Amino acid sequence: MGTLEQLHDAVVDGRAAEAVAEATRGLDEGIPAQTLFDEGLMAAMRSVGKLFEEGEVYVPEMLVSAHAMTAALEVLRPRLVQQGGRSSGTVAIGTVKGDLHDIGKNLVSMMLQGSGFEVDDLGADVDSQRFVEAIRNGAEVVALSALLTTTMTGMQEVIGAIRDAGLRERVGIVVGGAPVTQDFADAIGADGYARDASSAVRAVEEVLGRVRAADGRRAPAR
Amino acid sequence: MNAVFAATSAAGSSVTPAAGRGTASRERVELALAHQEADRIPLDLGGGLVTGMHVSSVYKLRQALGLDPAGTPVKVVEPYQMLGEIAADLMDALGVDVVGVSRPTNAYGFRNDNWKPWSAFDVPLLVPGDFPTDPEPNGDFLMYPCADRSAPACARMPKAGFYFDAIIRQDPIDDELLDVADNLEEFGPISGEAIDHIRGEVERLLPTGRAILGDFGGMSFGDVAFVPGPTLRHPKGIRDLEQWYMSLVTRPQYVYDVFDRQCEIALANLARIHAAIGDTLTAVFVTGADFGTQQGPLISPRMYRTLFKPFHVRVNEWIHANTGWKTFIHSCGSIWKLLDDIVDAGFDALNPVQTSAAEMDPERLKETYGDRIAFWGGGIDTQHVLPFGTPEEIRAMVRERLRIFGRGGGFVFNTIHNVQAGVPVENLLALYSAVDEFRAYPLGDGS
CA neighbor of A73 nearest in space, from A16, A122, A148, A147: A16
A187 at interface of B, judged by CB pairs closer than 8 A? no
**Residues 6+ positions from A131 with CB-CB distance below 8 Å:** A92, A94, A122, A142, A144, A158, A161, A162
Q: What pLDDT score does B23 carry?
A: 47
Residues of B in contact with A196 (CB under 8 A): 293-295
Q: What pLDDT score does B5 carry?
A: 56
Nearest Cα residue in chain A from B158: A98
Distances (CA, A) of A207 to A50, A198, A202, B220: 21, 15, 9, 41
Q: What pLDDT score does B383 carry?
A: 95
Instruction: Check CB contact under 8 Å for A60 and B165.
Output: no
A106 at interface of B, judged by CB pairs closer than 8 A? yes
Model confidence pLDDT, tens digit, residues B14-39: 333 343 444 499 999 999 999 999 99
Q: What pLDDT score does B7 carry?
A: 42
B298 at interface of A, judged by CB pairs closer than 8 A? yes
Helices and strands, counts by H and E, chain B: 14, 14
B246 at interface of A, judged by CB pairs closer than 8 A? yes
Spatial contact of A122 and A93, defined as CB atoms under 8 Å apart: yes
Model confidence pLDDT, tens digit, residues A119-175: 999 999 999 999 999 999 999 999 999 999 999 999 999 999 999 999 999 999 999
A103 at interface of B, judged by CB pairs closer than 8 A? yes
What DSSP designation does B183 have? G
The residues with which A146 forms a beta bridge, in sequence order, are none
B165 at interface of A, judged by CB pairs closer than 8 A? yes
- What are the residue ranges spanned by the domains of chain B? 3-67+86-115+170-438
B82 at interface of A, judged by CB pairs closer than 8 A? no
Spatial contact of B216 and B288, defined as CB atoms under 8 Å apart: no
The whole-angstrom distance between A158's CA and the closest CA on chain B is: 14
The residues with which B166 forms a beta bridge, in sequence order, are B155
Q: Show the 3-state SS of B89-131.
A: HHHHHHCCCEEEEECCECCCCCECCCCEEEEECCEEEEECCCC
Three-class SS state of B216 = coil
Give me the residue from A57, A59, A150 closest to B420, CB to CB. A150
- Terminal CA-CA length for chain B: 19
For residue B350, the surrounding DSSP H or E stretch is: strand B349-351
Q: How many CB atoms within 10 Å of residue B176?
A: 4
Residues of B in contact with A195 (CB under 8 A): 294-295
Give me the residue from B241, B384, B420 closest to A103, CB to CB. B241
CATH topology of domain B3-67+86-115+170-438: TIM Barrel (3.20.20)
Instruction: Work out the angle at residue B255's Cα, subtended by the Cα atoms of residues B250 and B256, and round it to the nearest 5 degrees.
Output: 115
Nearest Cα residue in chain A from B245: A60
Helices of type H across chain A: 3-12, 16-28, 33-35, 43-53, 59-82, 103-113, 128-136, 149-152, 154-164, 182-187, 197-218
Q: What pLDDT score does B2 carry?
A: 52
CA neighbor of B261 nearest in space, from B237, B279, B281: B237
Counted residue by residue, chain A has a size of 222
The whole-angstrom distance between A125's CA and the closest CA on chain B is: 7
**Residues 6+ positions from B339 with CB-CB distance below 8 Å:** B350, B365, B368, B369
Residues of B in contact with A100 (CB under 8 A): 156, 158, 161, 165
Q: What pLDDT score does B4 carry?
A: 54
d(CA B409, CA B414): 14
Instruction: Check CB contact under 8 Å for A100 and B161.
Output: yes
Q: What pLDDT score does A218 carry?
A: 64
A125 at interface of B, judged by CB pairs closer than 8 A? yes
A182 at interface of B, judged by CB pairs closer than 8 A? no
Residues of A in contact with B296 (CB under 8 A): 55, 58
Residues of A in contact with B162 (CB under 8 A): 98, 148, 150-151
Q: What pLDDT score does A84 carry?
A: 78
The whole-angstrom distance between B116's CA and the closest CA on chain A is: 25
The residues with which A145 forms a beta bridge, in sequence order, are A95, A176
Residue ranges in chain B whose pLDDT is less than 50: 1, 3, 6-23, 447
Strands B116-120 and B123-127: antiparallel
Instruction: Check CB contact under 8 Å for A178 and B156.
Output: no
Q: What pLDDT score does B105 carry?
A: 97
Instruction: Check CB contact under 8 Å for A150 and B156.
Output: no
B180 at interface of A, judged by CB pairs closer than 8 A? no
Q: How many CB atoms within 10 Å of residue B29?
A: 29
The residue of B165, B251, B290 whose CB has the most chain A CBs within 10 angstroms, and thus the best one to mutate to test that interface, is B165
d(CA B62, CA B69): 9
A129 at interface of B, judged by CB pairs closer than 8 A? no
Q: What pLDDT score does B17 carry?
A: 38
**B118 torsion bin: left (phi>0), alpha (psi -120 to 50), beta (else):** beta
- Residue type, position B166, single letter: A
Give me the residue from B158, B248, B296 closest to A60, CB to CB. B248
Which domains are present in chain A?
Answer: 1-86 (1.10.1240.10), 87-222 (3.40.50.280)
Cα dihedral A141→A146→A151→A154 (10° resolution): 10
A86 at interface of B, judged by CB pairs closer than 8 A? no
Residue ranges of A 22-41 with Cβ closer than 8 A to chain B: none
For residue B21, the surrounding DSSP H or E stretch is: helix B21-33
Counted residue by residue, chain B has a size of 447
d(CA A156, CA A175): 10
Instruction: Check CB contact under 8 Å for A150 and B162.
Output: yes
Sheet with B283-287, strands from edge to edge, namely: B98-102, B211-215, B283-287, B326-330, B349-351, B374-376, B411-412
Task: Report mean pLDDT in 10-residue bins for chain A, 222 residues.
Answer: 95 98 98 96 96 95 97 95 84 96 94 95 97 97 95 95 97 96 96 94 96 76 38
d(CA B205, CA B101): 9
